Structures are given as C-alpha cells and as structure tokens.
Amino acid sequence: MSFMSSNTSAPATAPSVASGAASGAPDHSSRRWWTLSVVALAQLMVVLDSTVVNIALPAAQADLGFSDADRQWVITAYSLAFGSLLLLGGRLSDLMGRKRTFIIGLIGFAVASALGGAADTFGLLVGARALQGAFGALLAPTALAVLTTTFTIPKERARAFGVFGAIAGAGGAVGLLLGGVLTENFNWRWNLYINVFIAIIAVIGAMIFVVNAKRVGPRPKLDVPGTILVSAALFSLVYGFSNAESDGWDSPLTWGYLAASAILLVVFVLWQMRAKHPLLPLSIVLDRNRGAAYSSVLIAGAGMFGIFLFVTYYLQASLGYSPIQTGLSFLPMIAMLVLAAQLSTNIFVPRFGPKIMVPFGMALGAIGMVYLTHLGLDSTYAADVLPPLLILGFAMGSIMPASMQTATLGVDREFAGVASAMVNTSQQVGGSIGTALLNTLAATAAADYLAAHLPTTASVAAEAAVHSYAVAYWWGAGFFAFGAILSALLFKRRAHSALSSNHTPVATDAEPVLAH
C-alpha cells in the first residue's frame, strides 16, 4: 500500500479548501493549534495515568487495607481494559465521528477517575481502574486520529507530531512527578481526582476547537467477529505477561494465556483476509514503513519501561530520594525529550527520514542504558544519573515522533482511528513485554546475587538490588540495539519524501470540507 490514496489526488483536494475559504466558510487553520493543545492535554492525561497511580499505591493500600498480592490488580485492571479495547476504540472513532468519540472518551475517563478517587473498597477501586482503561482505549487512538486528520500540511504536521510524540514519551515521567507532589501534599485520591479537572478543560476545548468531517459515502459497519477476536487476543496477551510478572514464567496460566493469544491473533488475521468490513485492513500493517514504525514504538516501549521503573526504584530505595525528588530527577530528561522531538520533526526527519533517525535514536537508547549499568550505591545524581537520562531523553525524542508520524501517514481517513490505535497498541504491548521480562530478569539476578553472597546483610541486600537493576538495563540496551538493526532494515530509504514533501499527503487529507 503506497502513501498516496488511489481514490483521490492532491490537485482535486486543493480547490475544495480554496473554494470553502472563498465562499465565506470559517477558516479552521487558525484553530488547528488550539486543537493540538486539546489533543495533547487528553494524551497527557492518559499517558501520565499509567504512572501517577503507581506513586499513590502504597498510600491507597494502607487506606483501603488490601493485600500485597491484590495490589497488582490496581495496575493490571487498567492495562487489561486499555490494551484489549484499543483497536475497538480506534474503530469506533472512525464510525461515530472523532469529535463525538473524543468527548465521550474524556467524560467517561473523568467519571471513572472520580469513582476511583472516591472508592471506599478495593473492589470499587479496581472496577474504576478498569473503566478508566476502557475509556482510555476510546480516547487515546481518537486523539491521535484527530491529530492525523487535522494536520495535513507536512511542515505543520511535523511540528504537531513533534509535540504529540514528546508527550507520549515524557508523560510517564510527568506522572511520577505529579504523583509525588499530590501524594505528599494532599493524599492518594488526588492522583485520580486530578483527571477530572484535566478532562473538564479538554472537553470545553474539544467542543470549541475540534471539528467533525462530513462523511463521504455509506456509513461503514463494525466488524463484530474481528472485534471479539482481537480484543480477546490482546486481553490474553496483556494478562499473560502480567501473570508472568506476578507468578513467574513457569506458571501454566502464563503460557496458557500467551498461547491463546497467539491462536486468536492467527484466527483474527485469517478473518480479516475475508471480512467484508475488516476491523483492521491488513494493508495498513503490511505497509513496510508503517510496519517498521509500529515495531519501533513497541520496542521503544519495552526499553523505556526499564528507565522509569528501575531508575525510580534506584533513586528511592538505593539513594533515599522522596517521591517528589524522584519526579524532579526526571525533569531534565523530559526537557531533552521535548527538545529532541522538535529538532527531529522540524529538521532531521525531513532531511534524513525515519530510516536514519529511528535507528539513531535506538542506538542512543542502547548507549544510555549501558551508561545506567554503572550506577552503584555511592553514585551521585549529577555525575552518574543525569547524563544517561539526558541521552535517553534525546533518544526517545528521536524515535517516537518520527515513528508515530510514519505510522499514520497515508492511511485512508476511514481507517485513521484504527491505524492510530495500532500505535497505542504497540506501545501498550511493548510496555507489557518490558514489565514482565525485565522484572523477572531483575528478580532472578537479585536472588542469584544473594545466594552467592551469604550471609545476607543489609548492605548485601542493597548491592543485590543495584545488581538486579544493572541486569535489567543491559537487557534494555539489548532491546534498543535490536530496534536499531530492525528499523534500519525495515524503513524504506525514501520514506521521508512523503514527510517532507510540499504537497499534502492525500490519504490523510481526504476530508477537505470540515463542519462543526
């Protein structure tokens, strides 16, 4: 499938826009950047929610009195609902209209957050987190689809995706900082209540600035069998990796769910080949550049997990940082990520393309991870922690915007939502894989270290923890190194031509007439 749609052409699109302006139709170019602000706010809310609750978990456990074994379900309930419903959420945005779906997602996420914040039992908290995940699965791909169909001029598209990619990469670190501030100065419930205020602002902005496209042609139908198959497959995949994290890789339940996921995915692909109204046309993912972009987002998601999780553990448990100090420690990384994202999308990607920039970012990520392996109990922030965080920030700023922009470029407007959902799905699956693998490897390394350094004292236990983090960093470096090789091989040499062309990519600009 090429970047250009075979059904429309650029010359045919331009007069429609021009005539709209000439006839006195409202000029939507002035509101595009306000639309970006609204979309970015919604994306930030979804992304930071994956980490902001982690900081609040110990306080919530003490307040509601649930066990250590049950604690994981506060996180798992969200990830299961979010990961399994992403493709459905993306497709619903194509069918229902993106403005309507976007607002429904915001309101639903706010209501679920309020329920979680007011929860007086463990069951209600877990149920609210699952509801958050469901509406997050509706909101996240819709936000990216709105961005994809709003910004069609290549230079503006590059700037917009630079901002969006920076938020996607930095939201987790923002969540750590915000979670620390709210937990220390208020209480754990405000880690959920904060979403209500963000959503209210975003809903108002969406009602004013986000526009709906007039539907062209008959209303498409939902692929119900495909939806059931892929939702069950993704649920099994995420649950399998979550179970591996809690019960280990020798658990029959872990391999049972992973095997079920593989079988369901195969059946889903076979069904998509013959479905009249496929949920996910295979041409979207089989396009070489988009496939490279999706795989890059997945690998980067798996590698990034090691940064947030194990550096957080290290700063708090090994160096004695408070939650707020830990969050502040990630701010330079966020600043570097934002800087790199803007440089990448405005200068480097148009000049070099994703075939150069994504492998370059992956290689930097591997270097940053290797740097982290040298951390010890006597390390200092300025000399030992800050440099690798800056390197990793620049790495993610080089990987995410280029990959996300390429992943949605050239997709027919009818499937912009589900194509956007594939980006979120890749990131979610990558995070699940990273969670399970790195946690298991780190736990095994710590146990082996303790067994080899008997008797166990406090200092030996502290050294074992640092050693386990180093093992996780080495594996994270391996993820990034593999991503560098894979992306260099998969991305086409001329992939950047569509990103830097002076002409609007037609498949993305398939809705020239916009109306409220």
Is the bond preceding residue 154 a cis peptide, omega within 30 degrees?
Answer: no
Which tokens is 113 given? 């957050």
The per-residue pLDDT for 169 is: 63
* Greatest Cα pair distance in the chain: 83
Which tokens is 356 given? 């150069």
Higher pLDDT: 511 or 267? It is 267
Provide DSSP, 434-451. Answer: HHHHHHHHHHHHHHHHHH
The mean pLDDT of 269-297, rounded to a whole number, is: 90
- The tens digit of pLDDT for each residue in 215-264 reads 555 666 888 899 999 999 989 988 888 888 778 788 899 999 999 999 99
Cα–Cα separations (whole angstroms), residue 457 to 317, 319, 376, 463, 466: 16, 18, 17, 10, 14
Map tokens 């923890």 to a residue.
465
Which tokens is 217 given? 């042609």
CA distance 406 to 349: 10
Residue 514 has pLDDT above 80, yes or no: no
Long-range contacts of 385-388 (CB under 8 A, 24+ apart): 385/311, 385/315, 385/329, 386/332
Which tokens is 466 given? 């640092």
Q: Where are the domains of the chain?
A: 31-222+279-515, 223-278
- The tens digit of pLDDT for each residue in 30-57 reads 678 888 888 888 888 887 777 778 777 7
Which tokens is 460 given? 């030996």
Smallest CA-to-CA distance from 302 within 472, 68, 157, 61 is with 472
The per-residue pLDDT for 464 is: 94
DSSP state of 353: -
Map tokens 């420690």 to a residue.
329
The mean pLDDT of 324-344, rounded to a whole number, is: 86
> Do 432 and 238 touch, CB atoms closer than 8 A?
yes
Smallest CA-to-CA distance from 161 within 173, 174, 147 is with 147
How would you classify the pairing of strands 212-213 and 514-515?
antiparallel
pTM: 0.78
The per-residue pLDDT for 168 is: 67
Query: What's the whole-number average pLDDT of the chain?
Result: 82
Residue 510 has pLDDT above 50, yes or no: no
Which tokens is 200 given? 């209210």
- The tens digit of pLDDT for each residue in 343-401 reads 888 888 888 889 999 999 999 999 999 999 999 999 999 999 999 999 999 999 899 88
DSSP state of 261: H
> Do 64 and 188 touch, CB atoms closer than 8 A?
no
The per-residue pLDDT for 182 is: 82
> Do 184 and 56 touch, CB atoms closer than 8 A?
no
The per-residue pLDDT for 214 is: 60
- The tens digit of pLDDT for each residue in 75-84 reads 888 888 888 8
Which residues, in sequence order, are CB contacts of 78 under 8 Å at separation 6+? 49, 50, 53, 129, 130, 132, 133, 136
Please tell me the number of Cα atoms within 13 Å of 413 on its side-chain side: 25
The mean pLDDT of 491-508, rounded to a whole number, is: 51
Higher pLDDT: 450 or 72? It is 450
Residue 29 has pLDDT above 80, yes or no: no
The per-residue pLDDT for 219 is: 67
CA distance 127 to 125: 5
CA distance 53 to 112: 14
The per-residue pLDDT for 493 is: 77
Q: Residue 341 — pLDDT band, cuts 50, 70, 90?
A: confident
Cα–Cα separations (whole angstroms), residue 410 to 2, 5, 6, 448: 7, 7, 11, 50
CA distance 502 to 441: 48
- The tens digit of pLDDT for each residue in 89-143 reads 888 888 888 889 999 999 999 999 999 999 999 999 999 999 999 999 999 888 8
> Do 89 and 141 touch, CB atoms closer than 8 A?
yes
- The tens digit of pLDDT for each residue in 166-219 reads 776 667 677 777 887 887 788 889 989 999 999 999 999 999 888 876 655 566
CA distance 312 to 326: 7
> Do 356 and 185 touch, CB atoms closer than 8 A?
no
The per-residue pLDDT for 504 is: 37
Which of the following CATH numbers is that of domain 31-222+279-515: 1.20.1250.20, 3.20.20.70, 1.10.3720.10, 3.50.50.60?
A: 1.20.1250.20
SS3 at position 377 = coil
